[in-house]
Structure 1
């Protein structure tokens, strides 16, 4: 499971603003905000989560298991 905190940390590690991630993932800015503010699994659709993950992974980030944070 990918958490909101992981998405936030991955975005920050790239030096991106929320608007950068939204643009690259082709999702509304509100989706990024909602995903990052979720304490656990993001409260977004699977398609939106996949778009965020694809954009982040495409830029070179990786995601450790949530329990290792």
Structure 2
């Protein structure tokens, strides 16, 4: 594995899951930031793991403010 390096971090502005009927075992995860778009391919296992990790992390964060 390469040495660790600092990478720029950008707030996520939007995301989209894009299925491919020709490849039913993967889905494209498109993420939009101020720096542009990135596209990642993910299997079901990756999506399940990512979803669980995101939910666990969200549960540790302060609750969102209620709308006015």
Question: Which TM-score applies when normalising by structure 2?
Answer: 0.30
With a CA cutoff of 8 Å and minimum separation of 6, indicate the structure with the bigger relative contact order: 1
> 1 or 2, which has the higher helix percentage?
1
Question: Which TM-score applies when normalising by structure 1?
Answer: 0.30
> 1 or 2, which has the higher strand percentage?
2
